[in-house]
């Protein structure tokens, strides 16, 4: 049965609230990438992070994403950066370092537990040029033409109203402002998967086809829209997605049956980085 927009938002908010409380890998990527001072290098490199990026992060900053958007974004000192779905604050902290004291970074997340955790992590990182706001991507608590860059790490797929997300992104960017989005795209994903709430919160069911992802940005008014990087997922990686709710206390009766069907998704799911610019 097709889920309503409110059901999807409610499930996503509950899932990620539990995920950050339990510090478990219940998102689109790994859980803690730095534990007891040790960086999980294989995970970090696969998602586009370097040891320099992560070396001075506060202990236990988690990643729930599918790729570092800052790898391909030319964020510079003095810029104002908005991070959609900022989660525990990993990319927000890295962006704060890039923009320096003359710049500013704004995190946006709809989950109260994520906002609280992010604020704590920003304090630990001494990121005084960063703030996090609670709100939804479809109605951003951000002024018109407030930001130079929008980044996002595997979050837009979670929205049941992606057209509104791109329209809002266009609104809050300054003329000539740029966007770099890391996210999941699919190829002919079966309809039963799209109606599976576990696959929604695991970043699969809500992902759109790559061509549609590009068209969403173009239809909102963006120009120079293009995919700048792509990584297809292996069956083992997709099994991690399928079982991403395990241990979160979100779906205790599911017993991770999703792992059994993950093999059917092979070749149908990839992470991409999408670039777009608002016309000057």
Nearest Cα to Cα of residue 89 among 144, 42, 161, 34 = 34
pLDDT tens by residue, 33-74:
444 444 455 556 667 787 777 777 777 676 657 889 998 999
| pLDDT at residue 237, rounded to an integer | 66
Arithmetic mean of pLDDT over the chain: 80
Instruction: Give 41's contacts (C-beta < 8 A, 6+ positions apart).
Output: 51
pTM above 0.85, yes or no: no
| pLDDT at 18 exceeding the cut of 70 | no
What is the mean predicted confidence (pLDDT) over 125-152? 97
Q: Residue 86 pLDDT > 90, yes or no?
A: yes
Judged against a pLDDT cut of 90, whether residue 116 lies above it is answered with yes
Q: What is the mean pLDDT of residues 136-151?
A: 98
Residue 256 pLDDT = 40
Tell me what pLDDT residue 14 has: 66
Per-residue model confidence (pLDDT) at position 48? 76
Percent of the chain residues past pLDDT 70, beyond the cut? 68
- pLDDT > 90 fraction of the chain, expressed in percent and rounded: 47
| pLDDT band of 26, cuts 50, 70, 90 | very low
Query: How high is the pLDDT of residue 247?
Result: 33
With vertex at residue 91, the alpha carbon angle to CA 67 and CA 231, rounded to the nearest 5 degrees, is 5
Q: Given a cut of 60, is residue 225 above it in pLDDT? A: yes
Could you read off the pLDDT of 156-196 as tens digits, one per residue? 988 989 999 999 999 999 999 999 999 989 888 777 777 66
* Structure confidence at residue 201 (pLDDT): 66
Query: What is the distance between the alpha carbons of residues 264 and 233, in angstroms, rounded to a whole number?
Result: 12
Q: 170 near 255, Cβ under 8 Å? A: no
Q: How far is CA 140 from the centre of its chain?
A: 16
Top pLDDT among 38 and 272 is at 272
- pLDDT, one tens digit per residue, over 88-111 is 899 999 999 999 999 999 999 999
Quick one: pLDDT at residue 263? 59
Most confident segment among 3-17, 116-130, 265-279: 116-130
CB neighbours of residue 46 within 10 Å: 16
């Amino acid at each position: 049965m097709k889920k309503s927009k409110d059901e999807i938002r409610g499930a996503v908010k509950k899932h990620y609230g539990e995920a950050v409380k339990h510090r478990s890998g219940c998102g689109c990527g790994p859980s803690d990438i730095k534990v007891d001072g040790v960086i999980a290098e294989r995970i970090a490199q696969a998602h586009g992070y370097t040891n320099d990026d992560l070396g001075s992060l506060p202990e236990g900053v988690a990643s729930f994403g599918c790729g570092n958007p800052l790898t391909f974004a030319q964020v510079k000192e003095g810029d104002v950066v908005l991070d959609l779905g900022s989660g525990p604050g990993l990319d927000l902290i890295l962006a704060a370092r890039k923009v320096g004291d003359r710049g500013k970074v704004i995190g946006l997340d709809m989950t109260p537990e994520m906002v609280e955790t992010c604020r704590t992590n920003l304090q630990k990182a001494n990121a005084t040029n960063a703030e996090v706001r609670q709100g939804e991507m479809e109605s951003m608590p951000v002024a018109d033409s407030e930001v130079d860059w929008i980044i996002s790490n595997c979050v837009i797929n979670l929205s049941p109203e992606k057209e509104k997300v791109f329209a809002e992104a266009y609104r809050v960017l300054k003329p000539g402002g740029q966007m770099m989005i890391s996210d999941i795209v699919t190829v002919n994903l079966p309809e039963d998967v799209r109606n599976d709430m576990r696959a929604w919160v695991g970043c699969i069911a809500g992902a759109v086809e790559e061509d549609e992802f590009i068209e969403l940005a173009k239809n909102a008014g963006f120009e120079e829209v293009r995919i700048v990087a792509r990584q297809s997922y292996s069956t083992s990686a997709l099994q991690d997605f399928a079982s991403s709710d395990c241990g979160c206390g979100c779906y205790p009766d599911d017993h991770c049956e999703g792992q059994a069907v993950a093999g059917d998704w092979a070749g149908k799911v990839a992470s991409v980085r999408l670039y777009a610019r608002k016309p000057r």
